[in-house]
Structure 1
Amino acid sequence: MSEPSSARLPEKEDKRSFFQRVAEFIHPGPDSKDELIETLADAEDNEIIGADARVMLERVIRMADMTAGDVMVAAPRMDCVNIDAPFDDILQLVIRTAHSRFPVYQDERENIIGTLLAKDLLKLQRSPALNLRALLRPAVFVPESKGLNDLLREFRGTRNHQAIVIDEFGRVAGLVTIEDVIEQIVGEIEDEFDIAEDEGDIFALADHTFRVSGDTPVARVAEAFGVAIRSSDPEEDFDTIGGLIAHEIGHVPKRGEQVDMAGLRFVVLHTKGGAVRWFKVAPVAGEPAGSA
């Protein structure tokens, strides 16, 4: 009997896992991280891995050399709660910044005594007699030199989402969150501030102020508030309010910085990638809105 035609033989299924195929491709292996990254690029060119997988793998490799100090929010820019502040002041801070967790200090900002979850304020609002201290969670402290790989492992193991970063002298250097770490692998994570353009760009807030997207055209902001907004430099022309405010500040804006223009106060709420994503806008007290 003749052998069956090879055309009828089923193709052999490749049961190797993704990582097995990558390992076989790079065998015997690169001698440095730079060579490994180049090999990943070759793997993408040979369609062993996709572009997204290659980018993430590169970020994982590079993250091994990064520390908490590389990704933290510096201490002066931390939004902290004063344990002795009135409830209304704390509530306004939570509304203004829209964070879910806050370091809590007593007397001075260096003296961090715990972490407050924004949702726990509901308990205080329903039971005013409740002591704010009873709502605090333990604060987590990590050295500035702590590797991001170890920090991510610690976050996962303890279920903490933020940590206070301490410098070599034991002083508060900044704040790092699990989102800051994960973004080093997957890129920017969309959050409560990231709203699609077709959903709007100017929003009224409960405290009678407004939240304005940095991408909003200057003309639209001027029309919405009934003012004339112009750059202090007549030779400069800006399309977006974020670009104009950055020019007026004179450097890459940071959260909490503010500029008064045309009788309006623009406070930087949220930045990403060096650009302002959101402003809080309100009339300047005692000053009529008008031309810049």
Structure 2
Amino acid sequence: MSDDPSPSRKSWLSRFGLERKNVTLNNWNTELSLLQKEGHIDLEASQMIRSILSSQELTVRDIMVPRAHMTSVAIDDAYDEVLEKIIQSGHSRIPVLSEDHEEMQGILLTKDLLKKMRDPSLKVTSLLRPVDYVPEGKYILAQLNEFRERHSHMALVVDEYGAVSGLVTIEDILEQIVGEIDDEHDISGPEVEPEVEQVDENHYIIDAKMSLEEFNERFGTSFDKDEVETISGLVMTQFGFLPNVSEEVVIDNYKFKVLPYDGKVLERLEVKPHDD
């Protein structure tokens, strides 16, 4: 047998001319740039490899959809209401909650519902698929492998106490590697509100889901709260309760006013500098 391994047995690093023994996290950027310059790989391949390598330290918690932003239905929701939520979301998989909205009953696939939707005796409970759970700290590349092995596309994320904290899909992980994946439901239109809308000088309307990091970069602030990640979380922490519409709070020389919202999550905030 030849000592030279066949192409099918070589690692993907070796196929690109990168041997495991001489590639480290400190020099792979340089190596990839060199391979790209020499014409061995194109820009897209180089960017994808960089994304894969930089994703090694990302966990499911870093990319999951938080529970507060999940689209879900309850087991006792009216049939028409379930259909409306599915149509509005455009999702092919919907988590189904118990009557008290505390427990997860299963996952509803829209294709299963479509096959039976004309059956007058249909009960949503008969269509539910089992729920897969993953811990927040699981690395996303390990979760990608699990999705492939189980032939599944969605999993619910649980925290250290076993409570559901969000969900993750195979699309979420792939987008970390290949970039944003748009479908007919993701196409931006004039009805999509911008994350930051400038009303006039020093007067803004912002998406409350904006991360603290993005807000700091946009407004030159230095908000830092270990227990929250978004402006919505910061504002609600400052209030100490779920505020009413039009209530205001001042945080580090910025005044935040709560704009109309539906549910238990702030959606839009009015922001102005606060003059003492």
Q: Give the TM bin, normalised by the shorter chain.
A: 0.5 to 0.7
Match of 2:225 in 1: none
* Unaligned stretches of 5+ residues in structure 2: 1-5, 212-231, 233-244, 246-258, 263-276
Match of 2:109 in 1: 117
Q: Percent identity over the alignment?
A: 35
Q: Is the 8 A contact 1:141 1:164 kept in 2?
A: yes
Cα-Cα RMSD: 3.4
Is residue 2:34 matched to residue 1:29?
Answer: no
Is residue 2:100 matched to residue 1:143?
Answer: no
Aligned-partner residue type, residue 38 of structure 2: N
Which residue among 117, 121, 124 is the counterpart of 1:132? 124
How far off is 1:214 after superposition?
Answer: 4.6
Q: Deviations over 1:197-242 (max 9, x none)?
A: 8xxx46xxxxxxxxx2458xxxxxxxxxxxxxxx8945479xxxxx
Higher Cα radius of gyration? 1
Aligned-partner residue type, residue 248 of structure 1: I
Is residue 2:157 matched to residue 1:165?
Answer: yes
Is residue 2:68 matched to residue 1:103?
Answer: no
Aligned length: 209
Match of 1:81 in 2: 73
Which residue among 192, 198, 205 is the counterpart of 1:248? 205
> 2:201 and 2:59 mapped to 1: Cα distance?
43
> 1:88 and 1:253 mapped to 2: Cα distance?
32
Aligned-partner residue type, residue 16 of structure 2: V
Aligned-partner residue type, residue 178 of structure 1: I
Match of 1:177 in 2: 169
How far off is 1:250 after superposition?
Answer: 5.8
- Flag the 1:35–1:99 CA change in 2: closer, same or farther, 3 A: same
How far off is 1:46 after superposition?
Answer: 2.3
Q: Is the 8 A contact 1:110 1:172 kept in 2?
A: no
Q: Deviations over 1:53-78 (max 9, x none)?
A: 11000111112211111110011111
Match of 1:61 in 2: 53
- 2:40 aligned counterpart, secondary structure: coil
- Flag the 1:112–1:55 CA change in 2: closer, same or farther, 3 A: same
How far off is 1:182 after superposition?
Answer: 0.7
Q: Deviations over 1:144-177 (max 9, x none)?
A: 1111121111111111110000011111110000
Within 5 Å, give how 1:35-50 maps onto structure 2. Answer: 35-50=27-42
Aligned-partner residue type, residue 29 of structure 1: N
How far off is 1:81 after superposition?
Answer: 1.0
How far off is 1:20 after superposition?
Answer: 4.4
- 1:174 aligned counterpart, secondary structure: strand
How far off is 1:126 after superposition?
Answer: 0.6
How far off is 1:37 after superposition?
Answer: 2.3
Match of 1:52 in 2: 44
How far off is 1:187 after superposition?
Answer: 0.6
Provide the TM-score with structure 1 as the length reference.
Answer: 0.62
Structure 1 residue ranges (4+ consecutive) displaced by more than 4 angstroms after TM superposition? 15-21, 25-28, 231-237, 250-254, 265-268
> 1:267 and 1:44 mapped to 2: Cα distance?
49
- Flag the 1:54–1:84 CA change in 2: closer, same or farther, 3 A: same
Aligned-partner residue type, residue 58 of structure 2: M
- 1:110 aligned counterpart, secondary structure: coil
> 1:21 and 1:117 mapped to 2: Cα distance?
39
